[in-house]
Amino acid sequence: DSVPMVAITGQVGTALMGTDAFQEVDIFGMTLPIVKHSYVIRATEDIPRIFAEAFALAASGRPGPVLIDLPKDVLQRAIDAPAPLPPATPAAPAMPDASAMATANRLIAEAKAPILYFGGGIAIAGAEEALRVFAARTGMPSVATLKGLGSLAPGTPHYLGMLGMHGTRAANMAIDAADLLVCVGARFDDRATGKLDAFAPRAKVIHIDADPAEINKLRAAEAGLGGDIIAILDALTATPADIAAWTARCDAWNRQSMPRYDAPGAGVYAPALLHDLSVAAGKRAIFTCDVGQHQMWVAQHCVFHRPQAHLTSAGLGAMGYGIPAGIGALFAEPDATVITVTGDGSIMMNIQELATIRRYGLPLKIVLLDNSQLGLVRQWQELFFDENFSEVDLYDNPDFAELAR
């Protein structure tokens, strides 16, 4: 999910490292595959420099985790601390070469059925205004990934919602019929594309990303534009010649697939509940979400008015993310309305954080959708494993409301 994070871990003293000492763990080696960089600080004097480097590295380029491992004796030594070092300034992202930009502008001008396909890279780059201007200038229909939700405001003309496995019919129909994909800050991951070789089979691709390594990794691009997303969008000045029939077709798909919230029957209808809750919460509300059926309902039915108003574990799909993310959101924006939507399976992964919420007096709102099962896993077992259900029934759940009190 490209989240900038610095993990600071404790380690046994340097003289004991490598001896299998009590509580020694090779955290450096264990985390190498999942971090941008790891440090083991062996000299106390290096602490200020390495901390400055680590925070800059975590936030630069494609953001991600950086590890700092601190041995016990390094922490115990006193030094004459210098003034805090200024944060290291990351290098400005480069612009693509002129020929690639020219190719991209030509493809846009020639397109008869273009789609703007954007993801979480928009929020990371702070490029939501550039995206809005580009969408308005070109008139392209647009679709979002799970992490892209909120980067275009609800009601944006020709916005078709989320694409992919749990996306809207309109978004997926448009992708299938498109002759050009302008992919911005997205990476053609399997949750969006499904079977990759059948995804947008007739489309040429312009791929724009702050991380050049993502370009051509999964889908070959006719124009690969790695660098500053804002500057690239601003420099793509071409517009399609005539796409009125195409936008009308996409808008018709959109009207035909709008959700209904008047489902009959007793009990709570979760999509209606979540939609109405997001409207009532207001435009500045932040929703954090766990993983399961409720995650997809939030994405499909809540209304998000700004980037990162929807925080969820999209790339990894880690149950238990919602409550810690809600706590973090409140520390970042203490005056915001923060709502965590979770399920009876996910909440059990980090239910101890209710104590943290109480300790700090945090006004976190938790909406727990309790259906006494691991709903999404059960659904997959029903669809793909001949209803051979295994370890998905949670009929003996605790009384969650009583625990919260």
Strand ranges of the sheet holding 180-184, from the earlier edge strand across to the other edge: 159-162, 142-144, 114-118, 180-184, 204-209, 223-226
Same domain, 274 and 250: no
Q: How many domains does the chain have?
A: 3
**pLDDT > 70: percent of the chain:** 96
209 in the same domain as 102: yes
Instruction: Give the model's confidence band at 161: pLDDT under 50 very low, under 70 low, under 90 confident, else very high.
Output: very high
CATH number (domain holding residue 44): 3.40.50.970
* Token pair listed for 135: 């969408």
Read off the pLDDT of each residue in 342-361 and give the average, rounded to a whole number. Answer: 95
Same structural domain, 126 and 28: no
Confidence of residue 364 (pLDDT cuts 50, 70, 90): very high
Residue 91 maps to a domain: no
Residues 248 and 204 in one domain: yes
124 and 177 together in one domain: yes
**Confidence at 385, pLDDT banded by 50, 70, 90:** very high
Residues 264-300: pLDDT tens digits? Answer: 666 778 999 999 999 999 999 999 999 999 999 999 9
265 part of a folded domain: no
- pLDDT category of residue 89 using cuts at 50, 70 and 90: low
- pLDDT category at 60 given cuts 50, 70, 90 is confident
Distances (CA, A) of 263 to 33, 118, 270, 272, 395: 46, 31, 10, 8, 25
| Mean local confidence (pLDDT), 240-268 | 88
Structure tokens that stand for 206 in this block = 């312009």
Same domain flag for 51 and 131? no
* Separation CA 150–CA 166 (nearest Å): 17
pLDDT score, position 349? 93
Q: Give me the mean pLDDT over the 53-80 stretch.
A: 93
For residue 88, being part of any structural domain is answered with no
Q: Which whole number is the average pLDDT over 33-40? A: 96
Examine the pLDDT at 209 and tell me if it is beyond 70: yes
Q: What percent of the chain has pLDDT over 90?
A: 79
Report the pLDDT averaged over residues 242-265: 90
Residues 120 and 18 in one domain: no
* 84 pLDDT more than 70: no
**Can you tell me the mean pLDDT for 86-99?**
74
Please report the pLDDT score of residue 265 as a whole number.
Answer: 67
In a domain, 92, yes or no: no
Residue 261 confidence (pLDDT): 85
* Domain identity same for 209 and 313: no
pLDDT tens-digit profile of 296-331?
999 999 999 998 899 999 989 899 999 999 999 999
What band does 80 get if pLDDT is binned at 50, 70 and 90? confident
Residue 302 shares a structural domain with residue 246: no
Q: Compute the distance between CA of residue 335 and CA of residue 26 in angstroms, rounded to an integer.
A: 40
Inform me whether the pLDDT recorded for 388 exceeds 70: yes
Give pTM, 2 decimals. Answer: 0.90
Domain boundaries, position 291: 270-404
Residue 89 counted as domain residue: no
Do 114 and 15 lie in a common domain? no
Whether residue 86 is contained in a domain is answered as no
